[in-house]
Structure 1
Amino acid sequence: MNGPDTGRAETPADEAPDSETLGTSEAVRTYFGDSYEQVVRYAELLREQGELRGLIGPREVTRIWERHILNSAAVVPYLPTSGAVADIGSGAGLPGIVIAAMRPDLEVLLVEPMERRTTWLGEVVSELGLTNTEIKRGRAEEYHEAFEVDAVTSRAVAALSKLARMSLPLVRVGGEMVILKGRNVAQEVDPARKVLRRYGATDPEILEGRTVDGVEATTILRARRTK
């Protein structure tokens, strides 16, 4: 899903690293470790089919690593060490597919309402051999009584107040909402406080997600559900 806040820090085009070079660099290979081959295949699929299938914009095809893959990977250190994570509005599988590849110890639920996107997700899961991933077609709100997870994540879905209403009912008590947002997310916190309190969430932390040198940090917001 696309929303008003992309969850990506903008880098001027003349300063952007070459994505092909970045994706095959030793720094990126080391960063992803055992998951690198799956992640690089996912990047290839996005490059080959992403624009054609309406998953990414035409200007993003040549910048898949920095704008999508590494941006999504930045959330992984802030996820729980075990249990289940739901990626709501998963769309092209960002960040859910990247999480599933990097963290085979987690159960990853990809929640997406659009049929053409769930078809894509199914193809990617099969191609990458991700056995820890389940696709759930529907809006997050449709699953509020169906399951609870240890963390809910999302990227470029909605403003924080709306996102909290969608996400927090899916989070078990003691679990967290850990979302990728843009640099101006602090401006969304005050309008969302009432909703956050309603669901027993702590005041949100705004965190910096870094991956490899030369790629701008991602802004991450985290809030724990206490009741």
Structure 2
Amino acid sequence: MTAFHVKHFAAYAALLRRWQGVMNLVAPSTLADIEARHFADSAQLAPLIPPGAVVADLGSGAGFPGMVLALLRPDLTVHLIESDTKKAAFLKSVSRETLCAGAQVHACRVESLYDAITPDVVTARALAPLPKLCVLTEPWVRQNPALIALFMKGKTAREEIRQAETVWRFALDFVPSATATDGAILRLTRLTRASGCM
């Protein structure tokens, strides 16, 4: 990372610790190691995203991975979608304090943005099981069939894939996590419903 990144990620970490005192943004056990547990983990997605992409980060929460990607990749436009208004206020504070021009925070449900944005990439971390993520992503795939989904998963990843394949068809790259021994990044493309599944 550059000195610019170090400065702004330090500000991000300080804000996270301050806001954690009034709301539950991350598991308390991870506060001592924000850089590895959250920043480095989220940063794994950065090289998987095409240049200049529009990204929709579902259920952004404390900004992982969306805000991290917006800070690392100023070429991206990252829509951070968070229905909890307090968490959205935190994200806006981070964006303001870090001068992160590429981050756009939406305090709303994912479904309300289907006609407002057309992402090239959809991301999510610790939001919902894979079948639900496919449901949330499908309307955007209809707009952009080349859409790439990057979902960060833990030890249930393979079981979630099996569950999703009962209803969905997709091309899958299973990328082992570099920061969690039981984690993985699921890269999905060509997402469609299986024949006969509504």
Q: Identity, % of aligned pairs? A: 32
CA distance in structure 2 between the aligned counterparts of 1:60 and 1:35, rounded to whole angstroms:
21
Alignment correspondent of 2:158 = 186
Amino acid at match of 2:30: E
Is 1:207 the counterpart of 2:182? The answer is no
Given candidates 107, 112, 134, the residue that maps to 2:104 is 134
CA distance in structure 1 between the aligned counterparts of 2:190 and 2:114, rounded to whole angstroms:
15
In the TM superposition, what whole-angstrom CA distance separates every residue of 1:66-93 from its partner, at most 9, and x where no partner exists? 2111111111111122220111100111
Is 1:165 the counterpart of 2:135? The answer is yes
Amino acid at match of 1:102: L
CA distance in structure 1 between the aligned counterparts of 2:148 and 2:59, rounded to whole angstroms:
17
Q: How many residue pairs are counted as aligned between the two chains?
A: 188
CA distance in structure 1 between the aligned counterparts of 2:25 and 2:158, rounded to whole angstroms:
28
**For 1:134, what is the secondary structure of its paired residue?**
strand
Change (3 A) 1:145 1:196: farther
Contact 1:88–1:154, Cα closer than 8 Å, also in 2? yes
Alignment correspondent of 2:68 = 98
Q: CA deviation at 1:170?
A: 2.6
**For 1:207, what is the secondary structure of its paired residue?**
strand
CA distance in structure 1 between the aligned counterparts of 2:127 and 2:155, rounded to whole angstroms:
15
Q: Output aligned runs, 1:40-51, within 5 Å.
A: 40-51=10-21
CA distance in structure 1 between the aligned counterparts of 2:191 and 2:27, rounded to whole angstroms:
38
**For 2:63, what is the secondary structure of its paired residue?**
coil
Q: Output aligned runs, 1:1-227, within 5 Å.
A: 32-33=1-2, 34-171=4-141, 172-197=144-169, 202-210=170-178, 215-216=179-180, 218-225=183-190
CA distance in structure 1 between the aligned counterparts of 2:130 and 2:165, rounded to whole angstroms:
9
State which drifts further: 32-41 or 114-123.
Answer: 32-41
Please, which runs of 5 or more residues in structure 1 have no aligned partner?
1-31
Please, which runs of 5 or more residues in structure 2 have no aligned partner?
193-198
| TM-score for both structures, normalised by structure 1 | 0.76
CA distance in structure 2 between the aligned counterparts of 1:221 and 1:111, rounded to whole angstroms:
20
CA distance in structure 2 between the aligned counterparts of 1:168 and 1:219, rounded to whole angstroms:
21
| TM-score for both structures, normalised by structure 2 | 0.87
Amino acid at match of 1:166: L
Q: CA deviation at 1:226?
A: 6.2
**For 2:89, what is the secondary structure of its paired residue?**
helix
CA distance in structure 2 between the aligned counterparts of 1:183 and 1:77, rounded to whole angstroms:
23
